[in-house]
Amino acid sequence: MIRFFLAFLYLLIIEMLQPSWSIACEQPLKSGVQSERFPQIDNKQVRTWRTIIAPNQPLKLHRHEYPRVVTVLRGGVLKSVAESGEILAVRHFKAGESYWLDADPPDQLHACVNLGPGVIEVVVTELK
């Protein structure tokens, strides 16, 4: 129950901040941007980070042990690829929207590939 309350509270805060985010996200990123993760919060309830995914720079193989909310700051098309090369999902992320993603299956690693010409930027919140 507390997970859902925290997710609701998080989404409510995101909705209130959305206008300021849209202004910030209209600003271009510096050239030469690389895919990377910026940790933000890690406690008993949640783990939050901001991720930048540059075109042609896949994220390394990883797994999400917990379900998560992905809030999109800069949208695009993101492909999730298993270690075997199998395409697990292709998601069309829209800036200003939030998406619920379940925990990954045990022992299944994936990499994320940005299929578009622009940078994708998201905030991920895993619910522990």
Label each residue of 60-113 as H, E or C.
CCECCCCCEEEEEEECEEEEEEECCCCEEEEEEECCCCEEEECCCCCCCCEEEE
What percent of the chain clears pLDDT 90, i.e. is strictly above it?
72
Q: What is the pLDDT of residue 3?
A: 63
Q: Is there a contact between 123 and 99 (Cβ–Cβ < 8 Å)?
A: no
Q: What is the pTM of this model?
A: 0.76
More confident residue, 112 or 16: 112
- Give the CA count within 13 Å in the CB-facing half-sphere of 58: 13
What is the percentage of the chain residues whose pLDDT exceeds 70? 75
pLDDT at 67: 98
Instruction: List pLDDT tens digits, range 69-94.
Output: 999 999 999 999 999 999 999 999 99
